[in-house]
Chains A and B, each alone.
Chain A
């Protein structure tokens, strides 16, 4: 088809993104370099950075769950954090019944998947096309409902789970780091990579991406769009469960409010990365985690009580200055 070749010069894959990527990656490289330099100069800084990355991975995991749900159904799931908290209680119960930590971990992920799937089919699908407000209220109702169920079954008092990573402390170049933090980071990163691979390399993942991008056209090629969206919710619940399970050892106790502040950080992370960008959610989570940790330590006027307001400030600033976030696509406003 020589005629076609001549119609348009061949474009590089990334040409469409070309204008955006360099400044953002420069920013990220500069940030990473700053963290490295700081870590080499100060032991406390290094410890805070590692801890911040681990917490940030948790925020990023939950943010990715939010982004998956948003991409699939254009609903922001306010109950995502509570769902993650509830599945963490499931794991607690399974361990209590005698499963080992990792057996309970994987069993919980399976339960979370089914739970996410069922919630989408039963509650979200009927209101999804009605209005933003209706969908938000349903997830808000779900928030209250899940909170109530957990309080009802397990009570509001602290529960304790044995940490999957033990209490061992590594020494890296003279800096002592609890095994917990690289452990958290590793588990979340592996989960995220698996989800990414599923989306990127499998037929199911392709169907899910297509269904989220263009539901009508996807149905025409035989994709079961409804199922794809429900599976998207299921996967989001799995990622949320991973985030919840990894958040628990970092807080040292399990209580029903476990994920509420984390949900706010995850919102900030998702918006920072771009609400429709999975990679952005993870990067945003890491950035929020590290900066919260460092800011609280080094900026005297921002104490730990101001973490949520700080995340709020980041969220609002991003929304006002660059609503599409670092990696997101600009949303076309329909009239």
Chain B
């Protein structure tokens, strides 16, 4: 219990701060904070895959695209409730994730990185091909748009629910199996863990999270789902967020999400290079610097700070 207490307190602090935030910020900043929440969901999902089972994915933007298009299409064609479309995005991406996870079973390391990268490039091409259904280059729009505040509430509620869900999944048998797979596949098999089941399951869960993030992402762009929004760079951002987050720490994921959600916006206001295009310069340099200076991401940094504070 003494171990749990600080964790619970910090959760309450984060929750309280997030609940109070919209009343102190302007509309633009609430939008930004919502953006961080969206990335929180996506980074959390990728962290389950990469952090817990050791499988890399540069393709999570593809799952976000699928989730986003689910929301836009369902809303436009059937006027489905937006929250319901998020659940559908979760379910559809879970299934797609399982399907992608199957061939991924035979790949690892660099090869998995290549295959998922190609997935990230390929999926945004599909709306151009099936433009009647998916709107082509112009995209699809939801029948309703939402306010910054609505989005903020939805993003962070989803974050909270999915965070608790991840905690429930990872603390038990499944989490132990995931970690065993990451540490040594052969040892995991030897101790009776069904490798294919858990590896594909991790892909499914991870993709489902990305799907929800994709739904929110579409709502954040005035309800427009367009191929160009789901370009390679989005996948790269999620991966960067997960890498910056480091493994297995709420604070890390929060820092990673803030990093990819806020840095581009913040860096546009940096003098000299603070133009629209300059932000990628800042973002890219920050990514490289963080990787060079923080080998274990922010999670590692926090652990070091904690050790330092205790000593």
Contacts and interface: CB of A to CB of B under 8 A. Distances in A.
Are A and B direct contacts in the complex by CB distance below 8 Å? yes
B56 A156 contact: no
A193 to B, nearest CB: 27
Contacts of B292: 123, 126-127, 138
A148 B277 contact: yes
Determine which residue in A155, A309, A312 has the highest number of CB atoms from chain B within 10 A of its CB, and name it: A312
Given A132-B110, A309-B126, A156 B118 contact: no
Contact of A316 (B115, B125, B129, B282): B115
B249 to A, nearest CB: 16
B109 interface: yes
Given A127-B291, A260-B121, A133 B243 contact: yes
Interface stretch (B84-92, B144-152, B202-210, B233-241): B233-241
Contacts, number: 150
B117 interface: yes
Contact of B121 (A143, A152, A308): A308
Interface stretch (A12-20, A38-46, A208-216, A263-271): A263-271
A152 B273 contact: yes
A260 B232 contact: yes
Contact of A156 (B106, B110, B277): B277
B155 to A, nearest CB: 24
B113 A144 contact: no
Interface string B167-208: 000000000000000001110000000000000000000000
B interface, size bucket: 35 or more
Contact of B117 (A130, A146, A267, A309): A267
A78 B278 CA distance: 21
A226 interface: no
B125 A308 contact: yes
Given A145-B288, A306-B129, A315-B118, A137 B243 contact: yes
B118 A268 contact: yes
B200 to A, nearest CB: 15
Interface in B101-123: 103, 106-111, 113-115, 117-119, 121-122
- A-side interface mostly: helix
Given A132-B113, A141-B240, A319-B106, A148 B125 contact: no
Interface string A284-322: 000000000000000000010111110110011001100
Contact of B114 (A133, A267, A303, A309): A267
A134 interface: yes
B275 interface: yes
Contacts of B27: none
A59 B121 CA distance: 16
A305 B284 contact: no
A144 B278 CA distance: 11
B281 interface: yes
B276 to A, nearest CB: 8
B239 A137 contact: yes
B283 interface: yes
Nearest to B136: A305
Contacts of A144: 233, 236, 240, 280, 283-284, 287
B95 interface: no
A149 B295 CA distance: 25
B18 interface: no
Interface of B: 50, 56, 58, 103, 106-111, 113-115, 117-119, 121-122, 125-126, 128-129, 184-186, 232-233, 236, 239-240, 243, 273, 275, 277-288, 291-292, 295
30 contacts: A76-B114, A78-B58, A123-B288, A126-B292, A127-B291, A127-B292, A132-B56, A132-B109, A137-B239, A137-B240, A137-B291, A144-B283, A144-B287, A145-B280, A147-B280, A147-B284, A149-B280, A152-B275, A155-B277, A261-B121, A267-B117, A268-B118, A303-B129, A305-B128, A306-B129, A308-B122, A309-B122, A316-B115, A320-B103, A323-B107
Give me the 10 closest cross-chain CB pairs, A-B, nearest first: A148-B280, A145-B284, A141-B287, A151-B277, A144-B284, A148-B281, A312-B118, A309-B122, A305-B128, A141-B288
Given A142-B288, A145-B288, A316-B103, 15 more contacts: A123-B288, A126-B292, A133-B56, A136-B56, A138-B292, A141-B286, A146-B284, A148-B282, A152-B280, A156-B277, A267-B117, A319-B111, A319-B115, A320-B103, A323-B111
